[in-house]
Amino acid sequence: MIDIVDEIVLPGLSLSEFNSGLSEEVWTLLQFFPYTWRYRLYGHWKFGNTMRHPEVNIVRGKVLGRTKYVLKRLSKETVRVMGRQLGKLCHVHPITVFDYLLSQVQTFDNLIQPVVESLKFLTNLEFDILTYCIIEQLASPDKQQLKASDGKLSPWLQALATLVGAVYKKYNVELAGMLNYVMNQTKRVIQNMACIEGVAGATADQLEALGGGELLRQEAGSFTNARNKRASARLRDAVLAGDIAVGLCILIAQQRECVVYRESSRLPLKLVGEMVDQVRVLLFFNNTGMLQGMLNKLLCPATYSLLILGAR
């Protein structure tokens, strides 16, 4: 079945004429595959199929040229018209569209909001491919995630993380692949979807609120993020699947020890301190942290105790 999808179905989708219905039909099959299998298929679609099927390579070139044309004209005022055009192009060869789109977003962060709004015309398959493309960008070995000058996040990573949080908050996208990547790499998706923030630069009122009860602490951590119950519920369901929540807590706790005792000898002292602070904010701050605060917020006390305390 995998070979049939790889050799016939996905290349055939690229040769169809803007068929969103066909894309949804393909997703009804692929949704039953593990995300690792799906991402392998997408990788073959991007690299292998263009070599084995010259027609697909020709289509890819046409889609790339049209994507550049559409994206130059994308703005808040033209979201609906240009979004439809992007959607049609994604029905043919979504990986080509997303690769170029993500490269532009990382360079011009003012494109983030129009791009997020324009994605409303995508199918479930294309949203899944978007996640694959985002992870591919995040994991690229050619990009520096931290600036060498001050150890802060690179602008491209900040822009991409903002896009990820906005997309996952607005649309019903499968989270398994991204959360498994997050479990090994980063935190910002959880922060944006769960409305749990760190307290760097907190006001006096926020600090005072953090000394109160659970409800008051939750409110203190959500002053700037609008609540989105549907996004929070989807995040809860995703982190509970496959013990991802426990794995996140364990790996983040281990990261602190790794930074202090293994990496500190080769990294600048300022960078080591900032990394340790990030881990503390994410996991340990105020005995709950962003991650545990999110779990406290989304789970009932009995489920939280069974999940977290039972793993100790």
Segment 217-248, tens digit of pLDDT: 666 655 444 556 677 677 677 767 766 777 77
Same-domain status, 223 and 154: no
Check whether residue 15 and residue 118 sit in a common domain: yes
Cα 164 to Cα 109: distance, rounded to the nearest angstrom: 12
Domain extent for 237: 174-311
Is there a single domain that holds both residue 23 and residue 118?
yes
Shared domain for 188 and 168, answered yes or no, is no
User: 13 and 141: one domain?
Assistant: yes
Asked if pLDDT for residue 190 goes beyond 60, the answer is no
Same-domain check for residues 138 and 203: no
Main-chain dihedrals φ then ψ at residue 126, nearest 5 degrees: -70, -35
Rounded Cα gap, residues 296 and 62, in angstroms: 49
Pair 84, 130 in one domain: yes
165 and 196 both lie in a single domain: no
Average pLDDT score over residue span 276-282: 71
Domain boundary among 173, 200, 231: 173
What does the alpha-carbon distance between residue 283 and residue 253 come to, in Å, rounded to a whole number?
7
Number of domains in the chain: 2
140/77 Cα distance (integer angstroms) = 33
Pair 204, 304 in one domain: yes
- Rounded CA-CA distance 156/109 in Å is 8
CA dist., res. 128 & res. 259, Å (int): 33
150 and 238 in a single domain? The answer is: no
**What is the distance in angstroms between the CA of the first residue and the CA of the last residue of the chain?**
41
- The residue among 173, 188, 223 that closes a domain is 173
Is residue 111 domain-shared with residue 220, that is, in the same domain? no
Q: Say whether both 202 and 97 belong to one domain.
A: no
User: In this prediction, what percent of the chain has a pLDDT beyond 70?
Assistant: 71
Domain stop point among 128, 151, 173: 173
| Residue 132 structure tokens | 């694959």
What is the phi/psi pair of residue 171, to 5°?
-120, 155
Mean pLDDT of 70-84: 90
pLDDT of residue 187: 52
